[in-house]
Structure 1
């Protein structure tokens, strides 16, 4: 799949790495893993963009996108109850049938994996590509030596993390939550 996406960019001679590779690749893989049918993937992609957007000042668009995706996930979960497969949602449904998970836990877990699972990967692909583009000698080594590719990947993970953990030096209140001085905070959009 990655080869197809990169090949399309190469065939044109230009492209947008984020919109044409970093975003669609993890969504497709996570949808495969979860068992989300292909007919839903464009909706997942579009509504995920809304959820990830920083432009929603009053939160109404994010709420709408969340509602739509929750309904979509619920439909998939219901379909897996009727016809289980070999995917993660089917495994979660089996745990529900065994009494290990509730129906709400199945749906919320699938939703969180769907949304949360791709955002960090989008960031990793984007920052990793930027790191290789700004260090062309390292990019050549990574392309020609598998061990160097592994080292480059680990370096990107270590130096350019996609989840930004912060320890503020001063406390403050930020819409509507207090951010406490000296405590670890991981900014997330809910």
Structure 2
């Protein structure tokens, strides 16, 4: 089998991963046309590979040789994870096989489509309240005033977290989502704060178990499904995955629609198309640019490329969504595209269990924004919209300044 990219000049620069910019897709297309698998220097000093084609990403998502467990990390990075935060790496997102199944099963039922559908009336109230709270000036950062607080409120209410404590989670989510391999003292401190808060809250809630997600997880702990560490780590996963990715989906999607007025007009004319539009938003500018980290548990091959045991393997979900072998005219944003089978929520055993709740929030958010704000428009030129540049897996905006215009009643 051929080896790929053996010289330093051939390794994809770290900036490709940490600073993708507003339009990384042409660069990805060029790399993919050369080979679907490339060496990449992320984390710095690691033997790592990026997978850029839809076919190979899908195969890799279901490949049991690519492990998510801390135990299979190279020693240097394993020690860093243990030192930084086992809290980050102790949930089902960092588990394989039977352990993954054990951690997933207690919460899986809480995210079934029929279960989350019961949240729709409350989500609608939250959406309308946020729109009602937009400033009278007519300009607002839709990210901080709508896209971020909506999913944070939803997941915190679902968990049963007191309303006065929710601002804490904005900071914790931002810091702890950076990942245990790249974190520093700030990550460790945030993990300790998070653990102390939820240890105390769980002890208090155990005295008065309710019909909320936190009580469900506490019952699972008491029945032996979780250790104390796994309970805390599962709560962290739910907050980060249930908050940041949904916020990015709403921010990215609104930006796409406002930059493509003909597509926005189609949705205004036929709101029933919104579920289809959400799938296109997820495909073309998904909120998780990369799948969560995987490590080769043994020597293996991907698309004819040698992957040594202990290598990090990064799976580009956004690159997979722009693969011309799967999608006709893949860089074209088309809210009516169907069929539209994408990998934005993953594939196989690690398919995102929160996908039904994310889709529901997206449908209510977009339909209400379009219905109540007929004059919604960007407040800055397109080229001034700034994308987040960091070492996390997410793909999102720094801010989304918009003009709200006239607000119709709820």
Q: TM-score, normalising length from structure 2?
A: 0.39
Q: Using CA pairs below 8 Å that are at least 6 residues apart, which structure has the higher relative contact order?
A: 2
Unaligned runs of 5+ in 1: 172-176
Could you report, residue by residue, the CA deviation over 1:84-139 in whole angstroms, capped at 9, with x for unpaired residues? Answer: 11111101111222223333222221121112321111110110011111112222
Q: 1:11 to 1:140 in 2, by over 3 A?
A: farther
Partner of 2:253: 128
2:276 to 115, 140, 151: 151
Residues in 2 aligned to 1:129 and 1:114: alpha-carbon distance in whole angstroms: 22
Unaligned runs of 5+ in 2: 1-125, 292-301, 318-390, 394-410
Segment drifting more, 12-21 vs 140-149: 140-149
1:24 to 142, 145, 149: 149
* Contact 2:173 2:239 survives alignment (8 Å): no
Root-mean-square deviation (CA, aligned residues, Å) is 3.1
* Contact 1:89 1:106 survives alignment (8 Å): no
Aligned residue pairs total: 181
Partner of 1:14: 139
Segment drifting more, 14-23 vs 142-151: 142-151
Written as runs of structure 1 = structure 2, the 5 A alignment for 1:5-154 is 5-9=130-134, 11-51=136-176, 59-154=184-279
Q: Which has the larger radius of gyration?
A: 2
Written as runs of structure 1 = structure 2, the 5 A alignment for 1:174-189 is 178-179=311-312, 184=315, 188=392
Could you report, residue by residue, the CA deviation over 1:33-64 in whole angstroms, capped at 9, with x for unpaired residues? Answer: 1111112101112333344579xx97222322
* Contact 2:178 2:392 survives alignment (8 Å): no
Larger % of strand: which? 2
* Contact 1:48 1:65 survives alignment (8 Å): no
* Contact 1:17 1:126 survives alignment (8 Å): yes
Q: TM-score, normalising length from structure 1?
A: 0.79
